[in-house]
Structure 1
Amino acid sequence: MRFDNKSVIVTGAGSGIGRAAAIAFAREGARVVCADITDAVEQTAATIGDAARAIRMDAGNEDDVIRTVALAVEAHGGLDVMFANAGISGGMANLFDTDVALITEVLRVNLIGPFLAIKHAAPEIAKRGRGAIVLTASVAGIRSGAGSPAYSASKAGVINLAQVSAQQLSGSNVRVNAICPGLTETGMTKPVFDNARDAGKIDRVGRLNPLRRGAQPEELAEAALFLASDAASYVNGQALAVDGGLSSSHPVTRQEYGLTAA
């Protein structure tokens, strides 16, 4: 029971990695605030039972983040772990088809969201004497080839935010790390997996990584729980790739967008 009687917040808990993580934290003794912008978060909390509270919130809205942290403190007496997992894909538009409104929204949710989570969770975690913040980044934030320009830039920012935050929280005993998922079967990627199954080509999903498969949310949840636990007590400011080995190479098929050298 790595999280016995610990107070944990999981954002993006309505589905995918967030839902798997919320259930896993509770299974190991945590009292969990399940946060999500959709009403699916109520189902996650109901699955967990009395150890969970649900809250509808927008991870990129500061007032909502403040409310979520306050709920954890009020309901569970404090805060030990923040898993800032909520995010959006923003589609697969290339550099020239990405407008300012799209990239602004992706950055608001995917990067400002984790920033707000750290800003408001860290002081409460520090009051407990020690604790952890885990952010969901992506292999797309490590190098090119795993996401759109907007998504990739936002996740690269999350990796750097984990590093900077770990330094600025020096002496607080609040650790900040990120997980970098590869292709994982979540609500965000459901069309990819469903289309592959319908076409009888599910074996081709994730074939660019050495394990030659996509991940399940529970596999990413386990990585998040490790970084949040005392087993990772000396791990700080790191980005852990959980991608079947994809980021060891990032093989891609290159596309050109009409620009050629003079």
Structure 2
Amino acid sequence: MTGRFSGKAVLVTGAGSGIGRVAAHLFARDGARVLATDVTDGAGETAAGHDAIAAMRCDAGSEDDVAHAVSEAVSRFGRLDIVFANAGTIGSFDGLFELDAAVWADVLRVNLIGPFLAIKYGARAMLDLEIAGSIVCTASVAGLRSGAGGSHYSASKAGVINLVQTSAQQLAGSGIRVNAVCPGLIETGMTRTIYESAREKGVADQIGRLNPMQRGGEPAEIASVVAFLASDAASYINGQAIAADGGLSSSLPVSRPPRLGRTAI
């Protein structure tokens, strides 16, 4: 099989659904061999019917699990070129005073320690194999500023953005690039309740109306950004957090401007 990832090996965490599943399929379609991991049985479903995709259970916030997943990828494929640290959890929708430290700890474990572990073990394997690879982490527009998630979720994603910056610096000279994608509101398993609630109330057409595209996003739209960052086409992009949010983060909150062609007063 030929393609932009031909001959390359990819590890994807959180590949059991949503962005991770679509990304795993995209990498495989473009020639890569993929190890899809998830804490659920969803990784097996992602791999079903795809000869280029293998699956295993992995808790992305467990050091032993991540170390084993990286080792398994290298053992299966003989190399590791790309790591997509995608696994995440939203935690809860509770407010600041309703949240307790246990919820915070679990969200940070998965959303921030998880990417740290993926970078730690993924980069170590790449260095050992003398591969100038690419690591991409899923952050969020919630990590850029307030208004897109709870305090625990937002803080964890802000940490991911800083993590890719500091990791890129600490891997200077290795050729290994570390970047993040910052999705806006995307319909995935994690946001299912938001979408289902809007549909039940008959206001599904209001989803995403705060961004200039005036719609929510699709997992494939984020996966395509991930694939770009992982590819040789992004060979000079390093330590960056790329927002893919329909333009949501391009503005501070304002009232909706008048329609095109009308003069503002």
The CA deviation at 1:64 is 0.2
CA contact (8 A) 2:81 2:131 kept: no
The aligned runs of 1:69-218 (5 Å cut-off) are 69-126=70-127, 127-218=129-220
The CA deviation at 1:27 is 0.5
The separation in 1 between residues aligned to 2:217 and 2:161, in whole angstroms, is 20
RMSD: 1.3
Equivalence for 2:260: none
The CA deviation at 1:129 is 2.8
The CA deviation at 1:128 is 3.8
What letter corresponds to residue 153 of structure 1 in structure 2?
Answer: A
| Residues 113-149 of structure 1: per-residue CA shift (max 9 Å, x gap) | 0000000000212324311000000000000110000
The aligned runs of 1:228-243 (5 Å cut-off) are 228-243=230-245
Look up the SS of the partner of 2:90 in the other structure: coil
Count of residues in correspondence between the two structures: 252
Look up the SS of the partner of 1:96 in the other structure: coil
CA contact (8 A) 1:59 1:109 kept: yes
Equivalence for 1:8: 10
The CA deviation at 1:199 is 2.9
The CA deviation at 1:195 is 2.3
Look up the SS of the partner of 1:34 in the other structure: strand
| Residues 186-209 of structure 1: per-residue CA shift (max 9 Å, x gap) | 000111112222333221001111
Look up the SS of the partner of 1:3 in the other structure: coil
Gaps of 5+ in 1: 254-262
How many percent identity over aligned positions? 61
Gaps of 5+ in 2: 256-265
The separation in 1 between residues aligned to 2:126 and 2:92, in whole angstroms, is 34
CA contact (8 A) 1:93 1:149 kept: no
CA contact (8 A) 2:166 2:239 kept: yes
CA contact (8 A) 1:186 1:217 kept: yes
The separation in 1 between residues aligned to 2:97 and 2:169, in whole angstroms, is 36
The separation in 2 between residues aligned to 1:102 and 1:77, in whole angstroms, is 38
Equivalence for 1:63: 64
TM-score, normalised relative to structure 2: 0.93
Look up the SS of the partner of 1:55 in the other structure: strand
| Residues 65-90 of structure 1: per-residue CA shift (max 9 Å, x gap) | 01100111010011000000000001
What letter corresponds to residue 104 of structure 1 in structure 2?
Answer: A
The separation in 1 between residues aligned to 2:254 and 2:40, in whole angstroms, is 34
What letter corresponds to residue 115 of structure 1 in structure 2?
Answer: F
TM-score, normalised relative to structure 1: 0.94
Look up the SS of the partner of 2:64 in the other structure: helix
Matched, 1:21 2:10: no
The separation in 1 between residues aligned to 2:178 and 2:7, in whole angstroms, is 21
